[in-house]
Amino acid sequence: MAATRAEPRAREIFTTLEYGPVPESHACALAWLDTQDRHLGHYVNGKWLKPEHRSSVSCQDPITGENLASCLQAQTEDVVAAVEAARTSLENWSLLPGAIRAQHLTRLAKMIQKHQRLLWTLESLVTGRAVREVRDRDVPLAQQLLQYHAVQAYAQEEALAGWEPIGVIGLILPPTFSFLEMMWRICPALAVGCTVVVLVPPASPTSLLLAQLAGELGSFPGILNVISGPAPLWPVLASQPGVQKVAFCGAVEEGRALQRTLAGKGPELGLALGAESLLLLTEAADVDSAVEGVVDAAWSDRSRGGLRLLIQESVWDETMRRLQERMGRLRGGRGLDGAVDMGARGAAAHDLAQRYVREAQSQGAQVFQAGSVPSDSPFFPPTLVSDLLPASPCTQAEVPWPLVVASPFRTAKEALALANGTPRGGSASVWSERLGQALALAYGLRVGTVWINAHGLRDAAVPTGGCKESGSSWHGGPDGLYEYLQPSGTPARLPYLSESLNYDTFGLVVPSTLPAGPETGPSPAPPYGLFVGGRFQAPGARSSRPIWDSQGNLHGYVAEGGAKDIRGAVEAAHQASPSWVGQSPGARAALLCALAAALERRGSTLAARLERHGVELKVAKAEVELSARRLRVWGARVQAQGRTLQVAELRGPVLQLREPLGVLAIVCPDKWPLLALVSLLAPALAHGNTVVLVPSGACPIPALEVCQDMVTLLPAGLVNVVTGDRDHLTRCLALHQDIQALWYFGSAQGSQFVEWASAGNLKPVWVNRGCPRAWDQEAEGAGPELGLRAARTKALWLPMGD
C-alpha cells in the first residue's frame, strides 16, 4: 500500500457533507501583472504608455484588500495621444475591405481563446465576481461577440451599403462589468470600421489586458486604445477633435450630467444607463422556475444591478416561501472559489446596498437576508425587501445589487401599470405558462428586452438596449451596428457650442406681437388656430403672430402657441396613442395614402401658398408631388417591420420588434415648409407614433392647410400642430417629461438647448446642429435613417419546449 496523503478531515466531512473550498488559482493573473512590474499604464497605439508625473491608483483585490498593482491615471495629454492614435489608424482601418476587418476580429477571438484562463482569473480577481460566471459566460460571450461581428464585417459592403463608419468612438465604461460591456461595444464599432478609445475607470486591468492581446496581433495597432482615468476625464475625451461619438455606460445621473455637459460639443452621445431589471411573476407561472429566474437576475453575479420583483397577489405567499427557502441555499464568498454563487464587489457596492436596506427599513419595509455568506464587509448577503410601497421615497431609487424588492399586484393590467410606472426601461422577464397572457405583458412592457419564462439570456445576435431613462443606445445584433454607422456622406460632427447660450432664458419669453395691418392673403383665408385634438383651437395666450410673404406683405396671422398649448397637444397625442399603436401597419399605410390623395387634391392651393413664399411655381408643384409620394412610400415600408432572430443555445425564436416611441415632437425646419414636414411626419406616423409638430416658422400656412384634411381623415389627436415662437415652443417641448422623442431642425442654439434640456427625461433627440438638410434628396429626405429613428427595438425572447 502506498503512502497515504489523505487528511483526517474526510471522516468529519463524511458526517456533515459540507461544501469545501474550490479555489481557482490566480497565479497566471499575478504573473501577468508581474510582467508589467505591477505597474499598469495605458495601452495606446499597440504599446504600453506609462507617462511620468501621473498620479496612480492602487488596484486591490476587493475581498482581501491586497494591493495587486498600481494603475496610472490619465491626464488630458494621454487622452489626446490616444485619440490621435485612433484618428491616425481610422483612415486605414475604415477603408479596408470588410473581409480584412473580419479576419482581424477572428484572430482576436482566437487570441482570447488561447488566453482565456488569464482573462477569467484576472477579471474575477479584480472585480470579485464569481469566477464561474466569468469563465462560463463572459469569456465565451466575448468570443461569440467577436465571431458574430466578424461575420457582419464580411457582409458589410453588401448588407450595409449606403452607410459608413462614424469615425473615432469614445467609450466610457462603468467600474463593474467593464470587460464585458467593453466587448459589447468595441466589437460592432471595430467591425464596421470605427476605431475606439476606451476610457475605463481606475483599476480595470482586464480591459488593458484585452487591448494588449489585440495589440499583440501586430497589424492595426491603433484601432483599440485603452486608457484609465477618473470621471472628470469624460468630457475631455468627448470633446477631443475627431471623436464623433461617445458611448457611455454607467449610472443614470452620470449619463444625464454628461449629456448636459456635451450639449453643443459635437459628438453624438449613446447612453446605456442603469442596471436594474424587472421580473413579473403571474399566478400562471411555474413558480419554482421563476424563483430560479430571480436567482439568475440578482444573486448569481450575472447582472450589474438589483431586481424589482412583481408577484401576483394570489401566489404571493407561496412565492415568498419558495424564494426564502431558495435564498438559504445561496453561497457567497471569494469570487475565485468555483463553488460560490456570489462574490463581493468591493466596499462601495457594499455600502450602497447597506444604505438602501437601512433606508427601506426606516420606511417600514421588511428585509429578509439568508444564504451562507461571510458576515464581514465587503460581502453582502442576498437580500429580499418587501412591503416597500410605491409611494415610499426609497422606491424611486434604483435597486442596487444584490437586492430584490418584491411588491404584489392584483391583475395583469395593474402589473403593467406598476412595471411601466418607473423611469427605467432596461430589461424585464415575464413568467406565465399562459402564452396569450405572457405575450400581452411582453408587448405592453416599455423596456428594451423581454424574456418570457427566462431571465438574463444574452446573445451577440440579439440587440440589447432600452428606453426611457435607461438610455436609447443599442448593442448587439443589427441595431448595435447602426450605433456606429451613419448615412454615407454625412459631414463630420464639429462642435457648434455657443458659450453665450443661457439655458435659463432661451425661449423663455415670447416677444409680444401687435396687429400689423390687414391680411392680404388669397381667399379662402387659411385656417386659423392651433390644430390640437383633431380641431382648430384658439391659443391659450389668445394672441397671434403675423406671417409675411417673400414680398414683405402680410400673408396672414397664425395662432401664438405657448406652454399650455403644448401641454394640451401632448395630452391629446397620448390619448390618441393606444388606438393608433393598435392599428395594423396596413391600416396606417391606408390612412397615409388617403392623406397623400388629399394632399394632391389640395395641390394647387398648396403650391400657391408656397409660391407666395418665394418658391417658383414649378418647384412648388414638385414639392407637393414629392410630399404625397413620401406619405405613400413610408406606408409601404413599414409593412415589412421586425424580424425573427435565431440564437445559439436557445430553442425558440427571439422576436426583434419595432415599437413606436410614443409621443414624438417634431420641430420642422424653416425651409421646405411642406416637404420637410411631410418627410418627418410620414415615418413617424407609419411607425405608430403620435405627433406634436411645430411647423416652419417662416411659412406655417401650408401645414395648416394640410391640417384641414387631417380633421376629416386622421383620428383626433394623432397629429397636433402648434404654431408660434419656435424657440419658445422648442423650450416647452424639450423640457416636457412626457414626450418620448424630439426631432429638432432649426438653429444651432436651438439644437444645443434641445440636447441640454432633453437630459431631463433622457428622451432620444435628433438635432440638425443648425445645418441645412436636403429634404428633396432621397437619402436625406427619405433614407433608412428616418425609419431607424422613428421606432425603437424590443427584443422578445421566446424559449420553447414542453
Partner 1 sequence: MGGRSGQRVLPWRVRDLSWISKIQVNQPAVLRRAEQIQARRPVKKEWQAAWLLKAVTFIDLTTLSGDDTPSNVQRLCYKAKYPIREDLLKALNVHDKGITTAAVCVYPARVCDAVKALKAAGCDIPVASVATGFPAGQTHLKTRLEEIRLAVEDGASEIDVVINRTLVLTGQWEALYDEIRQFRKACGEAHLKTILATGELGSLTNVYKASMVAMMAGSDFIKTSTGKESVNATFPVAIVMLRAIRDFFWKTGNKVGFKPAGGIRSAKDSLAWLSLIKEELGDEWLKPELFRIGASTLLADIERQIYHHVTGRYAAYHDLPMS
Write down the least CB distance from residue 121 to partner 1, Å. Answer: 16
Q: Is 227 exposed, middle or buried (0-12, 13-18, 19+ CB in 10 A)?
A: buried
C-alpha cell of residue 705: 392647410
Nearer to partner 1, 42 or 132 (CB): 132
Return the SS3 of 314. helix
Nearer to partner 1, 338 or 423 (CB): 338
Nearer to partner 1, 109 or 457 (CB): 457
Nearer to partner 1, 7 or 91 (CB): 7
Nearer to partner 1, 542 or 651 (CB): 651
Nearer to partner 1, 454 or 668 (CB): 454
Q: Which residues contact 234 (CB under 8 A, 6 or more apart)?
A: 172, 199, 248, 258, 261
Return the SS3 of 95. helix
Whole-number Å distance between alpha carbons of 61 and 617: 74
Write down the least CB distance from residue 651 to partner 1, Å. Answer: 7
Nearer to partner 1, 453 or 656 (CB): 453
Write down the least CB distance from residue 304 to partner 1, Å. Answer: 20
Residue carrying C-alpha cell 505591477: 38
Whole-number Å distance between alpha carbons of 741 and 723: 19
What are the φ and ψ backbone dihedral angles of 497, each rounded to 5 degrees? -65, 135
Nearer to partner 1, 2 or 95 (CB): 2
Write down the least CB distance from residue 1 to partner 1, Å. Answer: 5
Write down the least CB distance from residue 130 to partner 1, Å. Answer: 9
State how beta strands 163-165 and 485-487 pair.
Answer: antiparallel
Nearer to partner 1, 178 or 282 (CB): 282
Return the SS3 of 428. strand
State how beta strands 67-72 and 39-40 pair.
Answer: parallel
Is residue 689 within 8 Å of 662, Cβ to Cβ? yes
- Amino acid, single-letter form, for residue 696: S
Write down the least CB distance from residue 425 to partner 1, Å. Answer: 24
Nearer to partner 1, 13 or 617 (CB): 13
DSSP 8-state code for residue 475: B
Q: Would residue 453 be called left, alpha or beta, if left means φ above 0 and alpha means ψ between -120 and 50 degrees?
A: left
Residue carrying C-alpha cell 441595431: 479
Whole-number Å distance between alpha carbons of 441 and 279: 11
Write down the least CB distance from residue 285 to partner 1, Å. Answer: 8
CA distances from 370 to 299, 325, 329 (A): 11, 9, 8
Q: Which residues pair with 536 in a beta bridge?
A: 531
Q: Which residues pair with 655 in a beta bridge?
A: 644, 796
Whole-number Å distance between alpha carbons of 274 and 304: 9
Write down the least CB distance from residue 296 to partner 1, Å. Answer: 8
Write down the least CB distance from residue 77 to partner 1, Å. Answer: 46
Nearer to partner 1, 23 or 614 (CB): 23
Q: Which residues contact 477 (CB under 8 A, 6 or more apart)?
A: 460, 461, 462, 463, 464, 645, 656, 795
Nearer to partner 1, 338 or 444 (CB): 338
C-alpha cell of residue 649: 443555445
Nearer to partner 1, 33 or 430 (CB): 430
Write down the least CB distance from residue 319 to partner 1, Å. Answer: 13
Report the candidate in 701, 703, 661 with the shortest Cα–Cα distance to residue 683.
661
Nearer to partner 1, 341 or 459 (CB): 341
E strand residue ranges, 13-101: 39-40, 42-44, 47-49, 56-60, 67-72
Question: Mind giving me the DSSP string for 341-366?
Answer: SB---HHHHHHHHHHHHHHHHHTT-E
Report the candidate in 374, 373, 329, 381 with the shortest Cα–Cα distance to residue 354.
381
Write down the least CB distance from residue 457 to partner 1, Å. Answer: 9
Question: Mind giving me the DSSP string for 429-444?
Answer: EEE-S-HHHHHHHHHH
Write down the least CB distance from residue 349 to partner 1, Å. Answer: 22
Nearer to partner 1, 294 or 352 (CB): 294
CA distances from 213 to 173, 225, 243 (A): 19, 12, 24
Whole-number Å distance between alpha carbons of 775 and 199: 38
User: What are the residues binding partner 1 (CB under 8 A)?
Assistant: 1-14, 17-22, 132, 136, 284-286, 288-290, 292-293, 321, 329, 338-339, 341, 433, 453-454, 651-652, 799-802
Residue carrying C-alpha cell 437576475: 297
Write down the least CB distance from residue 369 to partner 1, Å. Answer: 19
Write down the least CB distance from residue 136 to partner 1, Å. Answer: 6
Write down the least CB distance from residue 295 to partner 1, Å. Answer: 9
Residue carrying C-alpha cell 461619438: 245
